[in-house]
Amino acid sequence: MEFIPNKNFAENHLKNFIEKYILDYSKLRNFDYGPQNRNNISLLSPYISHRVLFEFDVVKDVLGKFPYLKVDKFVQEIFWRVYWKGWLELRPTVWDDFTSSLDNIKTSQGYVEAINANTNIKCFNEWVIELKHYNYLHNHTRMWFASIWIFTLKLPWQLGAAFFLEHLLDGDAASNTLSWKWVAGLQTKGKHYLAKSWNIEKFTFNRFKDIKLNESAEAIIEDRMYELCKLPFSSTEIKNDSLIVFDSDLFIAEYSDNYKNIYFIDIENEYRKIKLSENVINFKKALIQNICRDFSNTKVVNHVEIKNISETIKEFDVVYPFIGENLDYLKKLEQSLQLKLNMIIKKEDLFCWQFSNKGYFNFKSNIPKILGKFIL
């Protein structure tokens, strides 16, 4: 299992997956055979989460070769990320509450043991080591991991979500935060996910057996209710000649010819609430550099450099970076440097997010409408 921070590698990997493995995806996707045997899943999420591969282009490539009914599970998994982003955009205080809670949670000895693979649960320890080494975990394993963290090790879900963001190459605010809340029973109130020993044994192909877990835990309960908010914008209009881009959306081909300057902001850990591992930071840096080579009007800048640029340029368009650390950073930058920012959001996102006001079943039922508008 290898993730190379290169657009050509990602595109070739997608092509290979479509040609050789996608038709088996539905029946094999829930099995975790270990990091050396990943042909049953796509391994595309580190590229899709940064939009090195654009979700809608991925779906278009897939449906260009196979009918929807043969690849529906894979297409639905691609759209999960779009759905989660929309759900969080409509309820931004969920992210604010998560990040602010990290200031008030004290770490325990159990937490230290967990993040250092020193618990009495063998599979969990191996997953911690795998996560730190490869910066990836199988999606099914992420559910088991979160469940064990919350219900067997009895650790705060927020610390687990932050631990994932620290180490996952594909970590993003929406998918990660809301998936952890779902396992805990907070996303869908009272409906939590409990890892079961038999389930882990079956879907790891008997690599782990006789796992001692809390299989009767109750869902986590909170009083907070999150009301729907209106999206803060509804336009894709280009207004300025300088564009700001973050690692959360590197798909800028449709914009590149419209700008004199395109600045990719590379945020150092010093300016992040959740500090990222060295591997993740380096992956993001390399991805940005690789994308920049495709355009002549781009420049990668750090915090000090964008401050210096802002002394002469006060108005920027911004490829909207979504609710999360990048947007938090941008808001602080906007205020401290007195910038005037015009958010550019993709028409595909705006259209899809109207279906994120409820659960995924509602979104899923509208996938044919989404495909009809942008793909088919």
Tokens 């649960």 belong to which residue?
A: 121
By residue count, the chain amounts to: 376
Q: Note the pLDDT of residue 235.
A: 63
Q: Note the pLDDT of residue 271.
A: 96
Query: Position 291: which residue type?
Result: I
Residue 294 three-state SS? coil
Residue 48: how many other CB atoms lie within 10 Å:
22
In DSSP terms, which residues pair with 344 in a beta bridge? 319
Backbone angles phi, psi at 304, to 5 degrees: -65, -40
**Structural domain 108-203, CATH architecture:** Orthogonal Bundle (1.10)
CA–CA dist 247, 193 (Å, integer): 31
Q: Tell me the C-alpha to C-alpha distance, in Å, between residue 110 and each of 113, 116, 148, 149, 164.
A: 5, 10, 12, 10, 17
CA–CA dist 73, 77 (Å, integer): 6
Tokens 């595109």 belong to which residue?
A: 11
Return the structure tokens found at 322.
């979504």
Is residue 365 within 8 A of residue 97, CB to CB? The reply is: no
Backbone angles phi, psi at 251, to 5 degrees: -85, 95
Q: Note the pLDDT of residue 232.
A: 65
pLDDT tens for the chain, 376 residues long, are: 789 999 999 999 999 999 999 999 999 999 999 999 999 999 999 999 999 999 999 999 999 999 999 999 999 999 999 999 999 999 999 999 999 999 999 999 999 999 999 999 999 999 999 999 999 999 999 999 999 999 999 999 999 999 999 999 999 999 999 999 999 999 988 899 999 999 999 999 999 998 999 999 999 998 888 989 888 665 668 889 999 999 999 999 888 888 999 999 999 999 999 999 999 999 999 999 999 998 989 999 999 999 999 999 999 999 999 999 999 999 999 999 999 999 999 999 999 999 999 999 999 999 999 999 998 7
Is residue 137 within 8 A of residue 181, CB to CB? The reply is: no
Residue 242 three-state SS? strand
Complete DSSP assignment for 177-198? HHHHHHHHTTTTTT------HH
* For the chain, domain boundaries: 7-89+352-374, 108-203, 242-344
- What pTM was computed for the model? 0.96
Residue 107 three-state SS? coil
Written out in words, the top-level CATH class of the domain with range 242-344 is alpha beta
Return the structure tokens found at 82.
């779009």
